Amino acid sequence: MIKLVRQNEHFHHKEDWLSTYWHFSFDTYHDPANMGFGPLRVFNDDVIDAGKGFGFHPHRDMEIITYVIDGELEHRDDMGGQGIIHAGEVQRMTAGKGIVHSERNHSDRPLRLLQMWIFADRRGLEPSWEQQRFTEQERRDRLLPIVVAEGASSGNAVHIHQDASMYVSSLGAGRQVEHALGGGRKAYLFVIDGSVTVNGQKMQKQDAARIEDESRLAIQADKNSELILIDLPGKFDVNN
């Protein structure tokens, strides 16, 4: 079963320095029927003006994954961590028992990023973060793993404390990638740019798909496209 959520069905929040699409309930947007998809609690598609950003704010017991599409994001936290996340780079931040951080557009042009929050598989972890760079060539016409579960081995992918993984792909027109979903698992697919067909269903830029009870995904690019695919456990208890 594939449930498509079109770009104009995501909640759109706009202010003078930020334009963002919230896929699930977040901040001032609250819908009890849209609180996440399995352990995926937040999926935000942000465009941030030059020099602007989010001041220091706290998080707890979440694995926060940031993928920069275009521009540069500056990260600071209360543990002394500081760095710049460039386009094509991913950062994993384990909020654990508590972390305070800020995020700011470090460049002189608009910054576009995806930020995803996944519930950690246990509470009270020590806060930490890691960052990796991936090139366009590495994701060309393949599903490149950029996030994997703790203990898994998959190239330079960052690790999270949850049985979930993330892949990105830069697909040329007419090219196809496939992904096998284990028994009982689900997936979340998002078209960053371009248009694709997944198991016969067409998706345009910024469309998302909530996928369950599918053993195999065939994703074909109708034109040059960028996408992200999240493989998630089918069963999840938020109270764990």
Tell me, yes or no, whether 218 lies in a domain: yes
DSSP label at residue 161: S
Tell me, yes or no, whether 106 lies in a domain: yes
DSSP label at residue 127: P
CATH code of 228's domain: 2.60.120.10
Tell me, yes or no, whether 239 lies in a domain: no
Q: What is the dihedral of CA 10, 20, 39, 238, to 10 degrees?
A: -100
Tell me, yes or no, whether 129 lies in a domain: yes
**Number of structural domains in the chain:** 1
Q: Please name the helix (run of DSSP H) or strand (run of DSSP E) that holds residue 159, with its range, or none.
A: strand 158-160
Tell me, yes or no, whether 74 lies in a domain: yes
Token pair in block for residue 220: 């074909």
- φ, ψ dihedrals at 159, nearest 5°: -115, 140
Alpha-carbon distance values, 172 to 156, 189, 230 (Å):
23, 17, 20
Tell me, yes or no, whether 240 lies in a domain: no
The pLDDT value recorded for residue 233 is 95
The pLDDT value recorded for residue 240 is 58
Domain that holds residue 165: 2-232
The pLDDT value recorded for residue 237 is 74
Q: Please measure the distance between the N-terminal and C-terminal CA atoms of the chain and give it in whole angstroms.
A: 27
Neighbour tally for 55: CB within 10 Å? 9
Residue whose tokens read 């694709």:
196
* Mean pLDDT per 10-residue interval, the chain, length 240 residues: 97 96 96 96 97 83 95 84 90 90 90 97 91 95 96 86 97 98 94 98 98 97 98 80
Provide the whole-model pTM: 0.95
The pLDDT value recorded for residue 239 is 65
Tell me, yes or no, whether 67 lies in a domain: yes
Q: What share of the chain is helix, strand, coil (3-state, %, to 5)?
A: 5, 55, 40
The pLDDT value recorded for residue 143 is 97
Tell me, yes or no, whether 237 lies in a domain: no
Give the residue from 17, 68, 15, 80 showing the smallest Cα distance to 44: 68
Looking at the DSSP bridge assignments, the partners of residue 159 are 148
The pLDDT value recorded for residue 76 is 82
